[in-house]
A and B are shown apart, each in its own frame.
Chain A
């Protein structure tokens, strides 16, 4: 089993601020997935990163896969209250999830 550590565990910011959350492992992954989960719902896939060093953008969200394919980051620019939720990373090799970062964006 490949363990994924996510940091920070909790993050509370004001609307308009930027933030970065991290997903780290000592194992190499063929690909990593990022999901967002809102209260009362299941996780929804945001992106899959496959190539070491890859950067993918989804509107105000920027995802990066580490060169060694052991870690990934998610950067949100000008956060909005609608970004509030639990952000989870998962190794696509065995679909084990990290514990997540619980983000709250205050208006």
Chain B
């Protein structure tokens, strides 16, 4: 079975531009997570969805960041406008019924390496 699929793998863009990151979770998983990883701050949880509904978005840095999950097989993380400090690796992960069974494993994609110039 395919794992979590993220696209693009790499993105380089100029500050002020809109950036959209995409994620396809593992089929059958109903919990989806977006993380950001930097050397300085480590792996930070941005937002998580359960059954396509955002449950906890307290980690979203500011209004420039938004995330959607229109259906069970697709999610986006958008940054508008982007800034150099948004440069990081962004990971998407999925799990089965994480809210009900807190010790379910998370399956991570390979990430999107984002560079804002």
Contact = CB atoms under 8 A, between A and B. Distances in A.
Residue among B4, B98, B103, B108 with the highest chain A CB neighbour number at 10 A:
B103
Interface residues of B, number: 21
Chain A: interface secondary structure? Answer: loop
Chain A interface extent, by class = 20 to 34
B102 A43 contact: no
Contacts of A107: none
A93 B108 contact: no
Contacts of B43: 43, 88, 97, 100
Interface of B: 4, 33, 35, 42-45, 48, 56, 91, 93, 98, 102-103, 105-111
Interface of A: 30-31, 33, 40-45, 48, 50, 88, 92-100
